[in-house]
Structure 1
Amino acid sequence: MSFIKRKTIGEAVFDIINNLGMLLICFVTLYPIWYVLINAFNDGKDAMLGGIYWWPRVFSLENFKAVFDNPGITTAMLLTVAKTLVGVGAHVFFTAMVAYAFSRRELIFGRFYIFLGTITMIFSGGLIPTYLLIRDLHMLDTFAVFIIPVLFSFFDLIIFMTFFREIPDGLDEAARIDGANDWTILLRIVLPVSMPVIATIALFHGVYQWNDYFAGIIYINKESLQPIQTFLYRVVAQSSSNIMTTALQGSAVTKTVTSQSVKLATMVVTTLPIVFAYPFLQRYFVKGMMIGSIKG
């Protein structure tokens, strides 16, 4: 015979207040995104009148047409896609390679290396020394400045290393008996069974690469090498400058779009790719984040 425990009045009131509080937090978090979205799909001139809160009043795609008609925005978007794909691939492989070496118990001075790496998570050289180093390496105004300085992360190494150490030693021993070396074990055994942690690190670094605007401001002077987030930063920071004039030049829809509407459309364009990519990586991401917390 089963008994169903009935909630007391206090517990019921707490649940109601808790649910209402969570709904309020969700609304406060999501509404600004929804507000940007509906105004981006609204006619620019009409949006200047205000009063748009829930749905586009005059639906229009002209704002997005103005965004993609501008070659500067298109170039920045393609560059951002390229640096995200290349950066994620290089970062994941390089960090996994170093983490595999750190995960080997026979590594000489392994604990000392981990201690040194932990220090780098707390202290950094600072902006000016980093800029001087990038300059002396001749990476200013080059595509490599988006990839090489963030090729390695000790925090990501710890996540990789923890996962690698949970892989049964029997796989490694069996591979070595068959004549496999460390490269073969890493590429053909360790990485294929490490998809959860690879997806986690790829999502971490992919979001960073996509949202990074700072490198474009500090290290890049060429407009052809400025990523979309740097372009968007300039649009937002200089709303009345020539940037928006350039964005609207040659467009046949300047009568229905405004600098503000193009800003909002640019924000949507730069945000949606990451939003769409996250659901495909979510199941790996959740599992990867639990690495090391529970062992069974």
Structure 2
Amino acid sequence: MSGRIKFTWFDALNYTGMVLLSLSVLYPIWYLFVLSVSTREGMAALDSSIVLWPQGFTWAAYEGFINQSYIYTGYAYTIGRTVVGTAAAVILMCLAAYALSKKIPFKKSFTFLFIFTMFFSGGLIPTYILIKNLGLLNNPLVYILAPPFLFNTFYMLILRNFFMTIPESLEESAKIDGAGDVRIFFQIMAPLAAPAIATISLWVSVNHWNSWFDSLIYVQSSEMQVIQVHIRKLVIEQSASMMSSTMDYFDKSLMPTPESMKAAGILITMLPILCIYPFIQKYFVKGVVMGAVKG
């Protein structure tokens, strides 16, 4: 009986802790929404206390972003680099990981060269000179080809370790049936490594989605900059020029405050990646653990 009571108390404490943890994660998102839809008159109450509900209600901040041309071009380049860049990076890292998981000549030397790049790099200025000499300045291809997005050694090692856990007998059986290396990789090895590939894909896509620094230094044209750069100018630099045209669409009573514009901008960039995460989250534990058990 006592053991059963202890188990019940443990469950209660466990559920309470998880609820509090969930609230600590969800409340900042909800608070951003409250800020973004509250009216100018209601912002005074939000500055002085914790508010659970909007003070007034207006979509002015979101309408302000929708009326801006950069919201569409920025989203187009952000989505494009995320989709294409993630696919290119994952395919390249999978090929390298699969090769290093097999018994090939100079395997340790090749692995050392890959690991060496994790600790030593050329730095920002040599990388900028390289991008310039390749003709990628002010070129959308820089979002895909610029380091470190096209290849990440740490992610590749996780994939390699996962491939090493797959029995070699599967490969040998496929070769006996006449399958080549390319067919074995794409039809047998890659599907078996789906948890690790899904995990790495999400990591790479999040890196692409959140990236803004490469767009800031490699792309001078505002039409080709990603949405994060425009949001950064609004949130960090508090650029009044980005809001001046937006303010012309609203009466003074409905004009969004800078805080509302910042909150709306943050939510606009957050929500797409948050909607994708639940569909891949189930692969996380298996992908990371299986990719770390064999060195």
Normalising by structure 2, report the TM-score: 0.87
Per-residue CA shift, 1:57-114, capped at 9, x if unaligned? 2122222122112111121012111110111111111110111111112x11111111
Paired with 2:175 and 2:281, the residues of 1 have a C-alpha distance of 34
The aligned residue for residue 66 of structure 2 is 68
Instruction: Tell me whether 1:118 sits opposite 2:107 in the alignment.
Output: no
Matched, 1:109 2:100: no
Selected match of 2:126 from 112, 125, 129: 129
Aligned partner of 1:213 in structure 2 is: 212
Is the 2:93–2:156 contact (alpha carbons within 8 Å) kept by the matching residues of 1?
yes
1:203 is paired with a residue whose SS is helix
Q: Is the 8 A contact 1:39 1:47 kept in 2?
A: no
Question: Structure 1 residues 128, 58: CA separation in 2 closer, same or farther (over 3 Å shift)?
Answer: same
In the TM superposition, residue 209 of structure 1 has moved relative to its aligned partner by 0.5
Q: 1:284 to 1:22 in 2, by over 3 A?
A: closer
Report how far residue 259 of structure 1 moved.
3.2
Cα distance in 2 for residues equivalent to 1:130 and 1:95: 21
Task: Say whether the 8 Å CA contact 1:235–1:243 is kept in structure 2.
Answer: yes
Letter in 2 for 1:61: W
Write out aligned runs for 1:262-281 (5 A): 262-281=261-280
**1:112-161 C-alpha deviation (Å, 9 max, x unpaired):** 11112112112221111111111111111111111112211111111111
Shift of 1:260: 2.7
- Structure 1 distance, partners of 2:142, 2:252, is 36
CA contact (8 A) 1:141 1:220 kept: yes
Secondary structure of the corresponding residue to residue 281 of structure 2: helix
CA–CA separation in structure 2 for the residues paired with 1:280 and 1:226: 28
Does the aligned pair in 1 maintain the 2:43–2:55 contact within 8 Å? no
Q: Letter of the aligned partner of 2:243 in structure 1?
A: M
1:65 & 1:190 partners in 2: Cα distance?
48
Q: How does 1:192-211 map to 2 (within 5 A)?
A: 192-211=191-210
Give the drift of 1:32: 2.9
1:215-271: per-residue Cα shift (whole Å, max 9, x none)? 11111101111111111111123214312224x166356751233322211110100
Deviations 1:182-217 (A, max 9, x none): 111111111122210111001100110000011111
Identify the match of residue 31 of structure 2 among 21, 29, 35: 35
Structure 1 match to 2:137: 140
Higher mean displacement: 25-34 or 80-89: 25-34
Contact map agreement 2:161 2:293 (CA 8 A) in 1:
no
Residue 41 (structure 2) aligned to one of 33, 41, 46: 46
The aligned amino acid for 1:81 is I
Which residue does the alignment assign to 2:238?
A: 239
Cα 1:3–1:249 change in 2 (3 A) is closer
Are 1:62 and 1:253, in contact at CA under 8 Å, matched by a contact in 2? no
Matched letter for residue 31 of structure 2:
Y
Partner Cα distance (1:254, 1:167) in 2: 64
SS in 2 for 1:231: helix
Query: May I ask how many residue pairs the two structures share in their alignment?
Result: 286
User: Secondary structure, in 3 states, of the residue corresponding to 2:122?
Assistant: coil
After the TM superposition, which of the residue ranges 184-193 and 249-258 deviates more from structure 2? 249-258
Alpha-carbon distance in 2 for matches of 1:264, 1:6: 46
Q: CA RMSD in A?
A: 2.6
Aligned to 1:184: 183
Q: Would the alpha carbon gap of residues 122 and 22 (structure 1) be closer, same or farther in structure 2, given more than 3 Å must change?
A: farther
User: Whole-Å Cα distance in 2 between the matches of residues 156 and 82 of structure 1?
Assistant: 21
Q: Measure how far apart 1:168 and its partner are.
A: 1.6
**1:47 to 1:113, Cα distance in 2 relative to 1, 3 A:** farther
Residue 79 (structure 2) aligns with: 81
Unmatched runs of 5 consecutive residues or more in structure 2: none
Unaligned 5+ segments in structure 1 are none
